[in-house]
Amino acid sequence: MELGSRLREARNAKGMSLEEVQASTKIQKRYLQAIEENNFDTLPGKFYTRAFIREYASTVGLNPEEVMEEHKSELPSMDDETTIPYTRVQKSKQQPSPTKGSSSGKSSKVFPAIITAALVVVIVFVIYFFTQQLSTPSETAPEDDQPQDEVVISDDEGNGNEEESQGENAGESGSGETEGEGETDSENTEENPPSEESEKEPEEEQAAQVELQQTGTGGFPEHTYQVTDAEEKQVTIELTGESYLEVTAPKNGENLIDPIIYSQADSPLTIDASAHEQLFLKTGSAGALNVSIDDQPVEFPADMTTQKLLINFN
C-alpha cells in the first residue's frame, strides 16, 4: 500500500475530514491532498514534504518514524535530513535568506553613517541658533534702558522748572498750592463713595426672612408663609426617609418636580423658584423632610403626616 493511501485510510478510520486535519496541522488542504495522492512534486521542497508527512501521520494516530521508515523508498531523498517536526510553514518563510542578510549587512553599515551626518548638521544648527539668541539681547539692551533714562531726565527737568518757577514768581507757587489742595479735596471726595458703599454692604447681604402667616387646620392642613428678601429663591428639600412630594408654581399650576415618592437617595432636591411669585408644596410624610429657602428653614408641625405649604414671595 502506498504512503498516501495509508494516510487516507488512517484519516477515515479516525473519522476526520481534510478540513479537520488542516485545522490541526496548519497544513494547507491542497498539500494534504497531494500527500494522499503521492504527488510530492507539488509540495514546497523536500524538507517540507517529509515534515508534512510526519505531522499528518501523527495527527491521524500513526507513528511518524515507522511510517517514514516503511515508505522511505517513496519519499524524496535528502543529503542532510533533519528530524525537527514541522509546526508551521509560516515560521520558515519568515527566516531571512543569505542574500537578504548580506544586503541588510551593507545597509547596516551605511545607515549609522547617515545618522551621524544628520546629527552633526543638527548640532551645528542648534549652536548657531543659540548664538544668535544670545547676541540679540545684548544689542537691544541699551534700547530697553533708554526709556528709563528719559524718564529720569524728564523728572529732573520737571524738578528744576518747579524750583525756578517758585523763585521767580511767588504767585504761581501759591496757585500751585491751591491746585494741590484742590486735587487733595477731589481725592478725598473720591474716597468717600467707597466708605458709603461699605456701609451699605450689610444691607445687600441681608438674609431671607420666612414668616408663618397662617397655620392650617384639619387632617390635611395648609400653612401659608410670606418670604421676603429672598434673592435667589432657591428651595432645598432634604429627605430622611420616603415621602410623596408635589411642588407646583403657583398653586394648582405647573409641576416643578415629578409628583412621585422620593427617598433619602434623592436628597437633596433643589428647586429654582426665581421666576415665580408663589410656590405650593404638598407632602405625604412631613416628618421625613426639611424645607429651606435660601438656606433659611421653613418651620411646620412635624407631628402631622400630610401637610401643604403655600409660600408667597414678596
How much is the pLDDT for 199? 57
Mean of the pLDDT values across residues 168-189?
Answer: 49
How much is the pLDDT for 131? 86
How much is the pLDDT for 254? 95
For the stretch 14-47, pLDDT in tens is 999 999 999 999 999 999 999 999 999 889 888 8
For the stretch 124-168, pLDDT in tens is 989 988 888 776 654 444 454 444 444 444 444 444 445 444 545
CA neighbor of 3 nearest in space, from 50, 37, 48: 37
Radius of gyration for the chain, computed over Cα atoms and rounded to the nearest angstrom:
50
Collapsing DSSP to helix, strand or coil, 45 comes out as coil
Mean of the pLDDT values across residues 108-127?
Answer: 88
pLDDT at 176 over 70: no
Phi, psi of 290 (to 5 degrees): -125, 135
For the stretch 183-242, pLDDT in tens is 555 555 455 555 555 555 555 568 999 999 999 998 899 999 999 999 999 999 999 999
Domain extents for the chain? 3-93, 209-313
Q: What's the pTM? A: 0.37
State the amino acid at position 28 in one-letter form. Q
d(CA 283, CA 291): 11
Q: How many whole angstroms from its chain centre is CA 204?
A: 41
CA neighbor of 297 nearest in space, from 229, 243, 227, 249: 227
How much is the pLDDT for 300? 87
For the stretch 258-313, pLDDT in tens is 999 999 999 999 999 999 999 999 998 988 999 999 999 999 887 788 999 999 99
How much is the pLDDT for 171? 47
pLDDT at 101 over 60: no
Contact 297, 291 (CB under 8 A): yes
How much is the pLDDT for 293? 96
Q: Which three cell numbers mark 227?
A: 418670604
How much is the pLDDT for 201? 56
Q: Which fold has domain 3-93?
A: 434 Repressor (Amino-terminal Domain) (1.10.260)
d(CA 61, CA 67): 11
